[in-house]
Structure 1
Amino acid sequence: MYRVSLGDDGAELRPLEPWQAEEFLANIERGREFIGRYIGLPDAVTNLMSSRAYLQSYADKAATDTGRIYGIWSEGTLVGGVLFRTMDVAHGTAEAGCWLEPAAAGRGLVTRAARVIIDWAFEERGLHRIEWQVAAPNTASVAVARRLGMTRDGVLRGSYVHRGERYDIEVWSVLAPEWRAAASER
């Protein structure tokens, strides 16, 4: 996948690679507090070296088929992304995730981008289950899981510590047969 249109608004999804570390860092800087409310990405990407290292870790995962990262561009600017934090092709599972800077929120970009990568995972890679883990108070991310047609599998109570605060994690998932059935109705 080189670039995929995300709709009529000109937004597109592209692989995010180490050579784009400066652009990735700028995206994180624009949304550092917003993005970091519930996820540690802004704490991991603090300068150009850590930005490059983060993207390199996903290039390494892509090379070993254990993860992927994609950027969402709107009007030529990187505004967020979606990823497979983990992929276990042998077991047919992956965990998807996302981030988005505040200026791009509320436009359905993450939902549209997640649909593309989930469809790829099921149809091209033959995975069976995609999971979405989210801090319970992150209502925007919970809403994405719902829009993707995922089922809430349960809650891992008090299992996630972020910036000194403990959160419940909701686990959502969709299985390949469910995804295909829903796709035929879209």
Structure 2
Amino acid sequence: MFAVPLGDDAELRPLEPWRAGEFLAHLDRGREYIGRYVGLTDVVTDLASSRAFLRSYAEKAAADTGRIYGIWLGGHLVGGVLFRTMDLVNGTAEAGCWLEPAAVGRGLVTRACRVIIDWAVEERSIHRIEWRVSSTNAASIAVARRLGMSRDGVLRESYLYRGQRQDIEVWSVLAPQWRAARPAPNL
């Protein structure tokens, strides 16, 4: 298995179905916090649904239509990043994230997203990475900004979440922009 160091005793690893118990325990720790904006906590409620969710991403990975990774801090799963969708024919992908409260404010999501976006752009030839976020989710919007994404627009009241209509902001970065913003390697 591989792990990508994120600094500060954190690492990024694939989040696979055999980790369903650990994934469920992580979501239980952050259920209220994560669930404010992310429907993941409504979908993963017990061990069977946790396993099914992770299995669906294993199937997406096999079909090359999505990926999911966990963020571990000090050996504990504290969050994750994913490509909710990947369309290799059109060169597009939608990235997303979640984090439990104990790990907030450390830059882990931004660093993890940089790793997966680099991979998508350089290894999978993805041209456009999208980030869709509720207009009220300031933390996630801040991540999009730190990643150098541009706000493309707002889909007004386009998403029904827990009985409330949400405005969804669409942010994106294109492969040429991503490459141009990357720091030069130290030689």
Could you state the TM-score of these two structures normalised by the residue count of structure 1?
A: 0.98
In the other structure, the counterpart of 1:39 is: 38
In the other structure, the counterpart of 2:4 is: 4
How many residues end up aligned between the 2 structures?
A: 185
Letter in 2 for 1:4: V
Structure 1 position 185, deviation (Å):
5.8
Letter in 1 for 2:134: A
- 1-structure distance, mates of 2:109, 2:170: 18
- In structure 1, runs of 5+ residues without a counterpart are none
Letter in 1 for 2:3: R
Letter in 1 for 2:154: V
- The runs of at least 4 consecutive aligned structure 1 residues that moved more than 6 Å come to none
In the other structure, the counterpart of 1:170 is: 169
In the other structure, the counterpart of 1:155 is: 154
- 1-structure distance, mates of 2:138, 2:165: 16
In the other structure, the counterpart of 1:79 is: 78
Could you state the TM-score of these two structures normalised by the residue count of structure 2?
A: 0.97
- 2-structure distance, mates of 1:157, 1:150: 20
Q: Tell whether 2:113 aligns with 1:114.
A: yes
Structure 1 position 184, deviation (Å):
3.6
Kindly report which structure 2 residues correspond to 1:15-164, keeping only aligned pairs within 5 A, or say none: 15-164=14-163
- 1-structure distance, mates of 2:148, 2:102: 25
- Deviations 1:48-101 (Å, cap 9, x if unpaired)? 000000000000000000000000000000000000000001110000000100
Structure 1 position 2, deviation (Å):
1.4
- 2-structure distance, mates of 1:38, 1:78: 19
Considering only aligned residues, what root-mean-square deviation do their CA atoms show, in Å? Answer: 1.0
Percent of aligned pairs with the same amino acid? 75
**For residues 185 and 153 of structure 1, do their structure 2 counterparts lie closer, same or farther at Cα, with a shift above 3 Å needed?**
farther
- Deviations 1:11-61 (Å, cap 9, x if unpaired)? 000000000000000110000010000110000000000000000000000
- In structure 2, runs of 5+ residues without a counterpart are none
Letter in 2 for 1:21: A
Letter in 1 for 2:150: T
